[in-house]
Amino acid sequence: MRNIYGITAYMQRGLPVSYDRTILFFIFFTVSLLLCLSGPARAEEYTFDISETEKKPYHIGGYAELRPVLLGLDKNAALYKLKFYNRDEGTALEEYNATLQLEGSLEKGIARLFFRTNTVYKESYLGSDHQTTIYEGFLSLKPSSSLTIDMGKRTLRWGKGYAWNPVAFVDRPKDPDEPDLNLEGFIVASADYIKSFDGPLKTLSFTPVIVPVYEHVNDTFGDINRLNFAGKLYLLLYDTDIDFIIFAGGSKTTRYGMDFSRNLTANFEIHGEFAFINDFKMRFSDSNGNSFEKKYDAKSYLIGTRYLTERDTTYIFEYYYNGTGFTAEEMRDYFSFINKGYGTYLSSGNDTLLKRASAITEGNYGRINPMRDYLYLRISQKEPFDILYFTPSITGILDLNDRSFSLSPELLYTAITNLELRLKASFIAGERPSEFGEKQNDYRLDLRARYYF
């Protein structure tokens, strides 16, 4: 190896012009042979500009994204009727989305200010619309490596599940179809206290959180004029991540949770979550639109695994039991009510029932995955056929209660620095009435070009 580098250095200095061609050819041949035999070509110079590592007290970054979407409509589906009963938009809809997500930080001493905003411009059958939301904006104080205090709007993202997080008591629900997307946070005051140990218990950290809910402050979180408390105790015990979680305060009923995650082998991980929700209030409707409310202690749980094969195929598999979800019968009643309302509208032009159906949909039947039992499977193959930076994957979500499902193949390509290209399709299938069978779309095509800066 040292010889190779010596020759390389000699080449870089240049050869005397008086050497005849035979000698030059011989040297060239010998050098080429040595370089070939020695593995990768090392004549190349690699540079590392140290200025790249200098830290600035501020940072501005984010991404800009363009995302055209094509939606294939199912005109016989209940949710199509609910949304489009008084308009005809044809068999397919086009939608054009442009997103700018900006984030920045300013650091001085133990203090750091951070913000993340999300601006979406959308052009759809409803016309054009744009909205800017502050996802996060908080002040962070770090008096020592054991203690961090944060105040402001932030996301906590509690839980170990990939598609669902029943223990994320202080977060907005994530979309299992896009679980990696940023979410809008809530205004909180929180702290992280960390302690490390030798022995089976390697880490202990405690995260207390205060969640104020007042008019104009987190007023979508739950009942207003309440100060809520949440806490998370994290342990790394016997190489297992374990969290114990609690939420209390009145804006929502008291709830308890725990989660865990552990690598059984170098390529096989298991995780789980369990949530107990005290006195959960469920609003539901019968097929005639009569509303009822029931109160019960709800238990939700999730068990999942992540498995990586020798061929770099990753399987993520989860089972989710949603104790706050509707039974198949309750969902059937809801869809029947919509169909009844649609029938009334067609016969009389009276949309009162459909408007009532809309009112009980929002935040209730209209939740993401509103039923009880779900299976999630995502299979992704890293760089098949030796194509670097190319990852095809397929995701399936199955509603076990009515056997309806969605299937989403996608292609991700990241060869160009800072540019991420993704083509995703989603197909849904299910009998009527069923969760996926009654959705307004039959299919969806989604192209996303995202540039990070």
**Cβ distance to another protein smaller for residue 150 or 330:** 150
Q: Which stretch binds another protein (CB under 8 A): 42-50, 337-345, 372-380, 440-448?
A: 42-50
**Cβ distance to another protein smaller for residue 218 or 261:** 261
| C-beta of residue 425 within 8 angstroms of C-beta of residue 449 | no
Q: Closest Cα partner for 224 from 249, 198, 200, 202?
A: 249
Site for another protein in 85-144 (CB under 8 A): 103, 107, 112, 140, 142, 144
Site for another protein in 180-209 (CB under 8 A): 180-183, 192, 194-196, 202-203, 205, 207
> Cβ 96 to another protein, closest distance in Å?
23
Q: Which stretch binds another protein (CB under 8 A): 34-42, 119-127, 318-326, 372-380?
A: 34-42
Q: Which of 14, 17, 48, 127 binds another protein (CB under 8 A)?
A: 48
**Cβ distance to another protein smaller for residue 379 or 400:** 379
> Cβ 156 to another protein, closest distance in Å?
8
Q: Which stretch binds another protein (CB under 8 A): 39-47, 219-227, 249-257, 339-347?
A: 39-47
Site for another protein in 328-367 (CB under 8 A): none
| Binding map of another protein across residues 148-187, x = CB under 8 A, - = no contact | x------xxxxxx-x----------------xxxxx----
**Cβ distance to another protein smaller for residue 111 or 368:** 111
295 binds another protein (CB under 8 A): no
Site for another protein in 239-258 (CB under 8 A): 239, 241
